[in-house]
Amino acid sequence: MSKLPILFSIVIPTYNCLPFLKKAIKSVLLQTEQNFEILIIDNSSDDGTKEYLRDLDDSRIHSFEVQNYGVIAFSRNTGIKKAKGSWVCFLDADDIWYKEKLTICKEYINDEVDVIYHDLLKYGKVNFLERKILSGRKLYTPVLIDLLVNGNAIINSSAVVRRNMIEQVNYLDESEDIVAAEDFNIWLKIAEKSENFLYINDVLGEYYIGEENVSNKNMSLCSISASNDFIKYLNKQQLNKYEAWIAYTSGRYNYLNKNYNSSIKYLFKSLKGSSTRLRIRSLFMLILIYFNKVKNIF
């Protein structure tokens, strides 16, 4: 009996987060769909990860040690280039999947789909005022324009991508100025070639919120770098929406870091030309800033 070709290649970059990595790997091994390989790209961890990976006894798990010097795209590209599956799944080492994730995604695979993605539940350092679901959204054609004017809709650890499409767009960009937005950049590159993005409106895993990814990164800067090559496709009205989204991103960053005066400036700018969704979010933060300032007066 001939062996089935590998369907899913799961790429997991990791660095010094062994307790999380164990949970991520376990969540893959418990999948109801078992036609997969796991490619773990270790950025030279010194917390016991190397020894743990060496002792794993599963022929579907392959590990590789690299030095990515802070460019996680290098680790992901290493995994993709080693992959044998026709679909690449991204999973960060501190995130997990529910057991039906691959089975459900498999149901949607056909010749008219190149990227599949879904929602994730937040866990970890989650503010009680925040929504507990990290939601994607359906992308409307032209997908490239939707992504540019409304922002990234695809959570990295939810993405299932046709491998030959990643190869067509020459993999993830490893430039240092787009670190943390390299996923946004590759969705834009794929959207130049394909409209076939499919959103599953369901929670199929969990996304870790830690101190390092709550407020320490101004995503507006790397998002500008990630999208700079694509704004040529925007008309004036669309460019206004793009700039409003960038302003909102900067306003939110400053709000989370309690730089309220800067936040107010960017949030007011985001009200001009932005979508209804972003206007509501901007107004909500402005109201919170107002009450915070009043509270501090008294």
1, pLDDT greater than 50: no
Whose tokens are 């990595």? That residue is 21
Do 125 and 261 belong to one domain?
A: no
Asked whether residue 152 falls in the same domain as residue 81, the answer is: yes
Least confident of 83-87, 91-95, 226-230, 289-293: 289-293
Cβ atoms within 10 Å of 235's Cβ, excluding its own:
8
The confidence score (pLDDT) of residue 237 equals 93
User: Looking at residues 92-111, what average pLDDT do you find?
Assistant: 98
131 and 198, same domain (yes or no): yes
Q: Average of pLDDT values for 73-99? A: 98
pLDDT at residue 154 is higher than 80? yes
What local confidence, expressed as pLDDT, does residue 47 receive?
96
Residue 272's pLDDT band (boundaries 50, 70, 90)? confident
**What integer pLDDT is reported at residue 224 of this predicted model?**
96
SS3 239: helix
Question: Is-contact 269 240, C-beta < 8 A?
Answer: no
Residues 181, 247 within the same domain: no
Same domain, 207 and 241: no
pTM of the model: 0.93
Structural domain contains residue 222: no
Query: Could you tell me how far CA 138 lies from the centroid of its own chain?
Result: 15
Whether residue 180 is predicted with pLDDT greater than 70 in this model: the reply is yes
CA–CA distance, 51 with 66 (Å, rounded to integer): 15
Does 292 lie in the same domain as 197? no
Do 84 and 145 lie in one domain? The reply is yes
Tell me, yes or no, whether 226 lies in a domain. Answer: no
Query: Is pLDDT at 50 greater than 90 in this prediction?
Result: yes
Confidence of residue 222 (pLDDT cuts 50, 70, 90): very high
Band of pLDDT at residue 277, cut at 50, 70 and 90:
confident
% the chain with pLDDT above 70: 94
Same domain, 116 and 183: yes
CA proximity to 154, closest of 110, 112, 198 = 198
> Looking at the structure, do residues 45 and 143 belong to the same domain, yes or no?
yes
Q: What is the pLDDT of residue 233?
A: 97
In which domain, by residue range, is 51 found? Answer: 8-213
Number of folded domains in the chain? 2
- Report the DSSP pairing between strands 197-209 and 115-124: parallel
In a shared domain, residues 99 and 170? yes
> What local confidence, expressed as pLDDT, does residue 217 receive?
78
Asked if the structure places residue 263 within a domain, the reply is yes
Structural domain contains residue 228: no
CATH number at residue 26: 3.90.550.10
Average pLDDT over residues 255-262: 91
* Residue 213 clears pLDDT 60, i.e. is over it: no
Residue 2 domain flag? no
Note the pLDDT of residue 79.
98
Last residue of a domain, one of 213, 248, 269: 213
Residues 120 and 247 in one domain: no
Question: Is 224 within the bounds of a domain?
Answer: no
The pLDDT of residue 210 is 83
Q: Is residue 227 part of a domain?
A: no
Residue 286: partners with Cβ closer than 8 Å, 6 or more residues away: 264, 267, 268
- The C-alpha atoms of residue 156 and residue 153 are separated, in whole angstroms, by 10
Q: Is there a single domain that holds both residue 280 and residue 209?
A: no
Kindly state whether residue 229 falls inside one of the protein's structural domains.
no
Question: Which residue stretches of 85-124 are H helix?
Answer: 101-107
- CA gap 223, 239 in Å, rounded: 14
Residue 214 has pLDDT above 50, yes or no: no
